[in-house]
Amino acid sequence: ALINYPEVVVMHEERFGSLINYDFAGVAIPYGPDVSLGLSVLRLGVDGIPDTRKAWTDNNGNGVFDNTEQLDYDKITYFNATDWALYFTYAQRSSSGLMYGVNIKLIQRTLADQSATGIGFDIGAVYSPMTNLSVGVNAQDITTTLLAWSTGRNELVPPTIKLGATNSIDLLGGRLSPAVDVDVPFE
């Protein structure tokens, strides 16, 4: 809600030796003096997971991989576990110290040959009673996000409220912003 010109963010992060990849891209555009609109996309994925279910023969019929059985490496296939989310964001400044916003998010989750789709809503607000002090609240999945799987099962993502505060201090030609926050999950 405080931007004066369009802004773009692009990020890529790898964790655990590139096992988990996190990609994010977003654009925010001011729409008048006190309103901004945003569009973001994120991908969180684990790629190249070996699927050995059809790569071994159960000679004993006991469902356990025994010493007498071998993997057929030519029958190993690979799959991904991926979450995609598309966010549509509206943010508004209602006064000099109060800003609020809302996200609508569309979610696509895949795991091997199964997939799920869902929609969720987030709301948030930031209040700055003084120049360097800000307090905020963010309610994620406020209506409990439903993910409907292609298997017919449903997954519910319960709401989480995030509370935080920061007090910025100008120091040595820069700005230090110590912050405190807490997450309150509702399960």
Q: How many Å apart are CA 187 and CA 181, to the nearest integer?
A: 19
DSSP 68: T
- What residue ranges in 1-113 does DSSP mark as E strands? 7-15, 20-30, 35-51, 77-93, 98-111
Q: How many Å apart are CA 99 and CA 2, to the nearest integer?
A: 8
Asked if 12 and 21 count as a contact pair (C-beta separation under 8 A), the reply is yes
Q: What string of pLDDT tens digits covers the 187 residues of the chain?
A: 888 899 999 999 999 888 899 999 999 999 988 999 999 999 999 988 888 878 877 767 676 767 777 778 888 899 999 999 999 999 999 988 999 999 999 999 999 889 999 999 999 999 999 888 999 999 999 999 999 999 999 999 999 999 999 999 988 889 899 999 999 999 8
Asked if 164 and 175 count as a contact pair (C-beta separation under 8 A), the reply is no
pTM given for the model: 0.80
Residue type, 98: L
